[in-house]
Structure 1
Amino acid sequence: MATTPNIDNKRYQGLIISIALFLSLIGALLAFTFYTSSLLERNTALIDQTNKVANSAQAVIKDLFDLDASYGEDTNSPHIQRVLERLEKNTASITSSIAAIEQGGTITDTEGRSYTLPKIDSDAQANITAANEQWKALEPKIQTYLKDADNIMVPSADALTQAVEQAKTSSLLMNDSLDNLTDDVFNSAESEASTIRLIQAIGVFAIFAYFLIFVFFFVRRLRETDAEALAARRETQEIMETVNTGLFLLDKDLRIGQQHSRALNDIIGADRLAGENFTNVLRGRISDKDLKTTQQFIEQLYNPRVKEKLVDSLNPLHKVMLHNTSGNKGLNDRFLDFKFSRVYDDKNIARILVNVNDVSDAVYLEQRLEKERTENDMQIEMLTTILNVNPKIINEFIANTQTHIEKMNNILKNPGSSQYELEGKLKAIYREMHSLKGEASALKLHSFTKIASDAEDKLHALQNQGQLSGNDFLPLAVHLDDLLSLSNTIATLGERINRSAPPSVKPATAPISDSFAKTSITENHKSNHTISNINADHGQSIDLDDEKDDQLSFYKEFAKDIAARQGKQVQLKSDTLTQADIPDHLVKPIKEISIQLLRNAVVHGIEAPSVRHSTGKDAVGTIDVEVKDSGSDVLLMVQDDGQGIDYDGIRTKLSKEGRFSMEEANQLSQNDLLKQLFSSGFSTKEHADEDGGRGVGLDIIKAKVKEYNGKLNVNSELGQMTRFVITLPKA
């Protein structure tokens, strides 16, 4: 959108020229005044100089007579020295002053200011010449006397007598000439002053007359212009009252223009907008981040080096939700779409035109369609899993998910107020959520994984915030409801498709509790890198004897999926997983522990192919999973040929996180470091992702081993391998 500046320039061209002429007249008058003031100042200095010469001449003659009368007095007496000094000074002053007056030279007054004397006319020149001739006759005799006046060895009476005699002759002629010179200079200055006053009066009259003409002519022109502007404003108002979109202009200070469409008030939901700051109108109705981004966005629109099309793609107010803060219950939160366009004045960016539309209906329709599309994608994902995974595994996942949700709900219900109890509740919920996410990730149920990951983000934030309260756990209820809903959905789909293998448990329908409290978990550690556990309830028994081949395939796919996300290559080997006879009550904990150990091996153990190649290893890492029956116990062993446990790295991370000082960390034994590695919230991974980095996986393993009163042994060689051995008693 462009304006028409040329028409406006022509309209005001005459006004501009007239003002320039008016200012030129004033400037010329001021310049003439400055010049005449300088001239008068120079004439005054000339008059002062002529008076100075006359006074100095009188003083010289007086001093000569005084010296003549005092002849014979000691030449070193204060009186004689003072008169001689004054005579010498006045003699030099007369000589220099006459030369300056005669030639129009530069003189300096007693205050140190310098003046250039003006040229004098012919009459004055004749008078100064006559005075100078008399002075030239007297001045040499004075100099002859002054040469030896204070030397008692040289007689100076004759020289003084000659100077006095010449002074008698020259003094009258010099006084007459200097008096005439003063009168000539004064008359000349008075004549110039009169001329100056006359010219100034004429100039002032001419300026005043021009001003009256200027006011008369241009007041009439301005009236015509105002009438045209009023008509144009009326037309603009009619347009602004008619359009059904919000239109307004923004200046560089982000102030809304005085003219805007009537619809803007209804769209924005504010009575007064003209002249208001745009950021103040939006403050509190959009997020502070969006508000700051909007300010930066508009600043870039005013940057001529930034392409408008390029910066338009960064518009932060595209379909933005505007919250209702007016307290008007009839006014709901709405989605508004702001479009910004530059308004140019010639080639300069003058304003930003903003077009606002209420797109709430369109956005709500998009959201509904997106929700339906998400639900469809989720059902397709679930159907794909149901059709490609053994029904027993699906049923086990549904049962485990509902068990995890029920446990988390019970944890939230348990009372607790101390920080220790709240931290225990947080850790327990974190373990259950992480276990659920691991099983969902293994089945490629990304809907479950996404909800669980979002919940883990909130749990991780609570873990790092320090002080906890019961209300901090309130948002978790939403995630539990979402997980329960997904679990019921996949159970329903499974029943429809797999009539021959229905789920072992019914879909849960009980709502998630809104009362939150805390629980505590006690941990005991033993030396030799072994962790011992207390008794706990048995897990749910799921018979997978006929599905062991599927179980091995399940683990292999799970490991490969994690490796693909981590940019690694792995192969899983197991000779005993399909042969071991695992008691029913240990099937579930062994599966949960296996999932966490497999994830830990891929994420933390196996190196990237390039790293393995540089150390002489095969690009594909190997993970061995073995399950053995030792009579009274079941042994689970997971070993990888990766980088091993870097104990120095653990020390560095502990110090970096502020858990220990570097000196304290250096004093920790390997067993102490392993205990820290298994603590909740600690991870050696720099950045958390779907597969790890939150410090929960090993904590889950430790809790499960304790729950089943088992033992955990860790063996590692740096750069070679890491082996976890879990021993769970059958009884």
Structure 2
Amino acid sequence: MPARKASLFGKYREIVIAVAFFLLFDLGVLILNFYTSFQINEDAVAINLAGRQRMLSQRMTKAVLDLQSLRAEGAPAEAARVELTRTRALFDRTLKAFASGGETAGGTGQPVTLRAVESERGREVLAAATSLWTRYQKATAPLVAESFTDADLDAAVLATRDLNLGLLDAMNDLTGALEAGAADRAEWLRRVQAGGMLLALLNFGFILFKFLRRLRDNDARIEQAQQENREILDTVSEGLLLLAPDHRVGTQFSASLGGILGCEVRSGDNFLDLLATMVAPATHEAAREYLALLFGDRVKETLVRSLNPLSEVPVTLEGQGGARRYLDFEFRRAMVAGKVSHLLVTVADVTGQVELAQELDEARKRAASEVGVLLNLLRAEPRALAGYLDDTQARLEQINDDLRERVGEDDPRRLIQGFCRVLHGIKGEAAALGLDMFETMAHEFERLLLPLRDAPRLDADALLSIPVRLSAFLERIALVREMTARIQQMHPRDAAPAETVAPVTPLDVASQLERVARNVADDQNKWLNLAIDLDSLAPLPAPLRGELRDITVQLVRNAVSHGIETPDERRARAKPATGLIEVKARALPDCYELVVRDDGRGMSPAAVRAALLASGRYGEAELAALDDREVLMKVFEAGVSTAADRADGHAGHGIGMDLVRDRLARLGAGLRCSTRENEFTQFTVRLAN
């Protein structure tokens, strides 16, 4: 900082010195004005008192003559004598003050200090006046006493007649001399002021000349910088713009920006309004919040860079006929005096890179899928795999039949919800058996159906994509059957009779639940312990155990996704970092009881109410009429989820609990839910013997 100050002083040194001289001139002139004005004021007082001396000489003459006339008439003359005494003393004191400097009485009677007369003419006048006054003072001295003789009076009268005119002339001359001195000082003051003004004008002219020259040089440099900036902005292939805190586009932006954004861009346009026509509402809102973070002073730019919602974002360019592209927006802060003044935004069309990356990713996925299929098939128990393939194929064919025969009879959305339940069950069984390929395919099929389920209206054309996906799923099942057959041919001893279906033992169910829970926990970065005891299910028929397995898979998946918190959340709530899920079965005298309990965040009636309100299924008045227990049971309705904002392959689509309700209804089983916020959630299934 000191170096920068020195640099600035060197750059503007001449102007700084000129301004300093200007201030010194002003200060000097001000001091001289003040001093000279003070002296002129003293001269005015002296001139006034010199005029009073003339008046005093006249008053003394009158007093002496009054004494003579009153004495001749025999009248009292004390007043005249007092007047003579007072005026004589005041004249003497004032004359001495003029001669040597000192204090005397002013015109108002208040004491004033006179400066000794310094001019040559003034000193001459004072010398003559003092000589006359000495004679007059000696002649009138006897009259000051209370008794004096007629001879004293006659001598005083004679002196008065001889000297009065001389004293009067001397005081007139003194007044003139003082006025001349005051005039000289006033003339000096005018010259000082004129000289100071001239110097100030010259200095101002110098400053103006230097300032204008530097302004001209700066304008030339700015024009050159602007020209270079225009050349850069006209040739750069990326979109560049400056964004103000009110989200307005600055005056400078690259020529390629409009082509990249597919619309005309003007200075002052609202960036968020431009963005609203290109991205989804959720992305637009996320971008608004992200910009607020960037313009804030408390958040470091490097910490929020990874949160950028506009990195490789898919956009729809209305100006290019609704073309789908991928744009990458990069934001950099421009700081002024420690504050964020603007954001430098770089926009690049990365459609080619993204599409290439997607193709490579798809190729890797296909290769990994094929390899994964082989590995899973090698690991899977043949009879369990055969049973899964048979069951899945039957369910998919039933979807196909329903789609062909019932689409005109039922509400399409209700039919789609049924399809979602079927596919969610297929996905859950695949996850339990470790068949990742089928789990992924079922999840992608679900994602295809969800927009159809949630659409306000459906027509036949909207369902055309379902048969295509069904066909692909069935083809993959056929492929796996063929691969399984080849493996069995290579290892005939491991082959199982085609008509044999592997029984679902309690140990199998426990192992499958463990696999599902671990996969979900790993995907969501959660730590988990499991306590599973399903031995009491051994007496149940294998198909019934399979149904209970499917129900339990959904409840466990739900417990991990919705209930168990991340380690950091659990520590913040004074819980162990590792969550616990307990799955227990027991045989009671009149029923079998299956309990799934987690020690997670619990179910919040307020959160469920908010989810129901957001889904549009219920109004505020309807929800207000429901108690907390009734609200919590609404999570079993299709499409209701408290994790819709963070939906993934495991939860958030409002299907799992709907599937549980459907399976329980088919089994005639009952379900009880108990929960406490931030402590636990427990689902208890009861199945009659």
Same fold by TM-score, threshold 0.5 exceeded? yes
**Contact 1:606–1:642, Cα closer than 8 Å, also in 2:** yes
Aligned to 2:351: 360
Q: Distance in 1 between matches of 2:194 and 2:472?
A: 99
Query: Residue 391 of structure 2: which of 390, 396, 407 is its match?
Result: 396
Aligned to 1:327: 319
Alignment of 1:671-710 (within 5 A): 678-680=633-635, 700-710=659-669
Task: Summarize the Cα distance change of 1:414–1:683 in structure 2 as closer, same or farther, 3 Å threshold.
Answer: closer
Aligned to 1:50: 46
Aligned to 1:188: 181
Query: 1:374 and 2:365 equivalent?
Result: yes
**Contact 2:608–2:635, Cα closer than 8 Å, also in 1:** no
Which structure has the bigger radius of gyration? 2
Query: Residue 118 of structure 2: which of 114, 121, 132 is its match?
Result: 121
User: What amino acid does structure 1 have at the position aligned with 2:541?
Assistant: D
C-alpha displacement of 1:365: 1.3
Aligned to 2:541: 581
Alignment of 1:632-643 (within 5 A): 636-639=592-595
Structure with more of its chain in helix, by fraction: 2
Overall identity of the aligned pairs, in % = 16
1:31 counterpart SS class = helix
C-alpha displacement of 1:192: 2.9
**Contact 2:317–2:324, Cα closer than 8 Å, also in 1:** no
Q: Distance in 2 between matches of 1:55 and 1:198?
A: 29
Q: Distance in 1 between matches of 2:107 and 2:656?
A: 98
Aligned to 1:595: 553
Query: 1:447 and 2:447 equivalent?
Result: no
C-alpha displacement of 1:550: 6.3
Aligned to 1:568: 528
Q: Distance in 1 between matches of 2:98 and 2:467?
A: 109
Alignment of 1:142-153 (within 5 A): none
User: Which structure 2 residue ranges, 5 or more long, are not aligned?
Assistant: 67-85, 138-143, 489-497, 611-626
Task: Summarize the Cα distance change of 1:496–1:193 in structure 2 as closer, same or farther, 3 Å threshold.
Answer: farther
User: What amino acid does structure 2 have at the position aligned with 1:557?
Assistant: Q
Q: Distance in 1 between matches of 2:424 and 2:96?
A: 111
Q: Higher mean Cα deviation, 314-323 or 571-580?
A: 314-323
Task: Summarize the Cα distance change of 1:198–1:362 in structure 2 as closer, same or farther, 3 Å threshold.
Answer: same
**Contact 1:249–1:353, Cα closer than 8 Å, also in 2:** yes
User: What amino acid does structure 1 have at the position aligned with 2:483?
Assistant: I
Aligned to 2:37: 41
1:470 counterpart SS class = coil
Deviations 1:9-51 (A, max 9, x none): 89x95xx455445545544443344234324432442244335
**Contact 1:319–1:363, Cα closer than 8 Å, also in 2:** no
Task: Summarize the Cα distance change of 1:676–1:270 in structure 2 as closer, same or farther, 3 Å threshold.
Answer: closer
User: Which structure 1 residue ranges, 5 or more long, are not aligned?
Assistant: 70-87, 139-144, 146-155, 417-421, 463-467, 503-542, 660-671
C-alpha displacement of 1:547: 1.0
Aligned to 1:514: none
Query: 1:498 and 2:484 equivalent?
Result: yes
Aligned to 2:620: none
User: What amino acid does structure 2 have at the position aligned with 1:361?
Assistant: G
Aligned to 2:27: 31
Name the TM-score, length of structure 1 as normaliser: 0.53
Task: Summarize the Cα distance change of 1:216–1:361 in structure 2 as closer, same or farther, 3 Å threshold.
Answer: same
Deviations 1:476-515 (A, max 9, x none): 989979975774464243233234999xxxxxxxxxxxxx
**Contact 2:314–2:324, Cα closer than 8 Å, also in 1:** no
Task: Summarize the Cα distance change of 1:674–1:281 in structure 2 as closer, same or farther, 3 Å threshold.
Answer: closer
Q: Distance in 1 between matches of 2:100 and 2:407?
A: 115
The alignment covers a number of residue pairs equal to 576
Query: 1:559 and 2:514 equivalent?
Result: yes
Deviations 1:710-729 (A, max 9, x none): 5457899xx99979453369
Alignment of 1:69-468 (within 5 A): 121=118, 182-201=175-194, 236=228, 240=232, 245-246=237-238, 276=267, 280=271, 283-284=274-275, 287=284, 289-290=286-287, 293=290, 316=308, 320-321=312-313, 323=315, 327-329=319-321, 333-336=325-328, 358-389=349-380, 390-391=384-385, 392-400=387-395, 414-415=410-411, 435=425, 438-444=428-434, 445=436, 447=440
1:195 counterpart SS class = helix
Task: Summarize the Cα distance change of 1:592–1:194 in structure 2 as closer, same or farther, 3 Å threshold.
Answer: same
Q: Distance in 2 between matches of 1:408 and 1:19?
A: 88
C-alpha displacement of 1:562: 1.2
2:635 counterpart SS class = coil
C-alpha displacement of 1:624: 4.0
C-alpha displacement of 1:204: 5.4
